[in-house]
Chains A and B, each alone.
Chain A
Amino acid sequence: MATETKQTSEPDGVLRLGGPGLAAEPTGDIHEIETDHLEVSMGPQHPSTHGVLRLKVKLDGEWVTEVQPEIGYLHRGVEKIAENRTYFQFLTITDRLDYVAAMACNAAYAVAVEKLAGLTVPPRAELCRVIVQELDRIASHLVSVGTYGLDLGATSPFIYAFRDRETILDLLEMVCGARLTYSYIRVGGVARDLPEGEWRTRFRQFLDEFPPMLDEQDTLLSENEIFLLRTRGVGVLPPEVAVNYGTSGPVLRGSGVAYDVRRSKPYGLYPQLDFNVVTRPTGDCLARYQVRVEEMRQSVKILRQCDQLLDEIPPGEVLAKGARGVKPAAGEAYASVESPRGEMGVYLISDGSNKPYRLKWRSPSFVNLSVLSAIGRGWKVADLVAIIGSIDPVFGDVDR
């Protein structure tokens, strides 16, 4: 099986990528029979399009000759909503963007407003932010990895992933009362301090129990020969193309580019924490999967340091002064955080009132998904499913 990526530069300078199917030239007598390409609409009601993605797919037998993503089925116009709400009010809307990792959305928005308004976040609040963000990152990657198994036909890893996610959701529920739309990270800090007592015990218990459970679940996929056959060398995204498309997160790091906002544009408490930026050189579906799994281990590493810091940084103020009725001076700011899917940025323009003049959301899923039409061609239908799963878009975030 040819695994190398066919890559040709067309006269218009557009880089064309794709799988081995693109090189399949019709030869022999059988191809003299006139055949039509089959055009199918994959989604928006399709089990493995992760929501409401619609793909216009052109098929030559099992080969995908063209794939065109059609998005917008979940568009709610949050950028317009932002212009009609105060800075404080808009926070709850951010939960609805990347609903699998709402903490990252909260954080991206909060960081941007703080940068614009010049607010300083209390150290205890920074610590709380890191803890909930990393917990949420693990939960989000678990969803991604679990459903990836489902995309490839393995049902069990999904259930095992959701077992661990449940523990995290319980922890986050104890923190902020919500399991999906947290609104915990606020502009200028967090809503309240982390609970003491039982939460702490369960948090530590989770840190001890999770790594072996992750190994157990990972064994089901990454030591499975069929899984490796299905993912290795499939959907290769070369690093220069990944950068050119502006992808981020595991998609970019799976191509070997060590771009992680937590390191590249440090924010919050991350400069003080010790963790590795996980990369894989190959750029295929397997690499993206492995980056996610390894990032969960790195998150546990961060959380262990945070567990110590919880004792070192005394409880105290968790919300900056004047954060509730924040009214930034006229100006603009771009700030980003590393969401589980990549660089989640907010470009915020203020005209001096208590409402944003313009808010632009740079959603990682949106950017990552735009690669699909380039790398999805020339593979089998089954590979296309594997590639979508490895890109891991969340449609609340893509369509906004």
Chain B
Amino acid sequence: MSTELPDSPEEAKPADDIFGLYGLEDLLGEGVEVSVPPVGDPVVTIAREKLLEACRFFKEEQGFDYLILVSGVDRGDHLESVIHLGKADAPNIVILKTAVPYDDPHVPSVTPLWQGANWHERESFDLMGIIYDGHPDLRRILLFPEWDEYPHPLRKEFRLPSLEGKYTVE
């Protein structure tokens, strides 16, 4: 793999093309939507059935070898699994979003593709309650096992104890 980076600051400026993201739509067909917001990086919204396929496409075809972040977001009516992908040798970032319903919070794990996703997904499972299918070792990572009787703390239904006096652990 290439580990060379330009030494002069001029060359290191982020390129503004999106590296053939629009080809993705043709490749995957239904369930993939690409948008480029005015602020931030290109967002690809993917149905969860296609997530693994898309991730493999990004990793193998587009060279997004560096997994920055896997996180979960509580959108109010559904959960969302967000994957930030980057490159070790270029400034590009692409954001993959997958909607996850509350009653069936399953999403395929990307740990087989990027080992770095392992702990991120465990954390998201722990704090947000998204279940990653195919994860080698999906356990709580930050909270203790007794937390099972309380909601996942980063969901919006969980209010801070200091605000409501609820969910205090004896």
Contact = CB atoms under 8 A, between A and B. Distances in A.
A325 interface: no
Nearest to A334: B84
Interface in B1-36: 1, 3-7, 9-10, 12-14
A349 interface: yes
B37 A367 contact: no
A245 B12 contact: no
A331 B40 contact: yes
Contact of B66 (A15, A259, A347, A400): A259
Given A263-B12, A266-B13, A84 B163 contact: yes
Contact of B84 (A80, A274, A347): A347
A347 B69 contact: yes
A360 interface: yes
A301 B74 CA distance: 44
Nearest to A247: B116
Given A333-B40, A334-B95, A349-B73, A244 B142 contact: no
B119 A271 contact: no
B90 interface: yes
B142 A15 contact: no
A246 B114 contact: yes
Contact of B3 (A79, A245, A257, A347): A257
Contacts of B41: 334
B91 interface: yes
A258 B4 contact: yes
Contacts of B91: 264-266
Interface string A1-28: 0000000000011110000000000000
Contacts of A277: 5
A273 B116 contact: no
Contact of B69 (A241, A245, A345): A345
Interface residues of B, number: 52
- Interface range, A side: 35 or more
Contacts of B142: 71-72, 75, 399-400
Contact of B68 (A246, A274, A366): A246
B14 A265 contact: yes
A258 to B, nearest CB: 5
B127 interface: yes
A358 B153 CA distance: 12
Contacts of A15: 115
Contacts of A345: 68-69, 84
Contacts of B6: 263
Interface string A46-81: 000000000000000000000000011001010111
Contacts of A337: none
B12 A246 contact: no
Interface string A265-280: 1100011111011010
Given A75-B142, A266-B9, A331 B39 contact: yes
B150 interface: no
A266 B15 CA distance: 12
A358 B9 CA distance: 33
Contact of A258 (B5, B68, B93): B5
Question: Which of B114, B116, B153 has the most A CB atoms < 10 Å from its CB?
Answer: B116
Nearest to A117: B39
A244 B71 contact: no
A400 B12 CA distance: 32
A164 B107 CA distance: 49
Contacts of B69: 334, 345, 347, 360, 362
B40 A72 contact: no
B160 A80 contact: yes
A38 interface: no
Contacts of B4: 258
B15 to A, nearest CB: 12
B9 A347 contact: no
A273 B9 CA distance: 8
A239 interface: yes
Contacts of B136: 12, 14
A244 B127 contact: no
A81 B9 CA distance: 37
Contacts of A247: 116
A80 B161 CA distance: 11
A151 to B, nearest CB: 23
A264 B90 CA distance: 6
A243 B1 contact: yes
Contacts of A257: 1, 3, 88
Contact of A77 (B39, B40, B88, B153): B153
B5 A84 contact: no
A367 B120 CA distance: 8
Contacts of B3: 239, 256-258, 279
**In the A-B complex, the 10 residue pairs with the closest CB atoms:** A246-B116, A72-B142, A271-B9, A360-B71, A370-B119, A245-B116, A75-B142, A258-B5, A246-B67, A265-B91
Given A75-B143, A370-B118, 10 more contacts: A14-B136, A241-B115, A243-B88, A263-B5, A270-B9, A358-B154, A362-B68, A366-B119, A367-B120, A370-B115
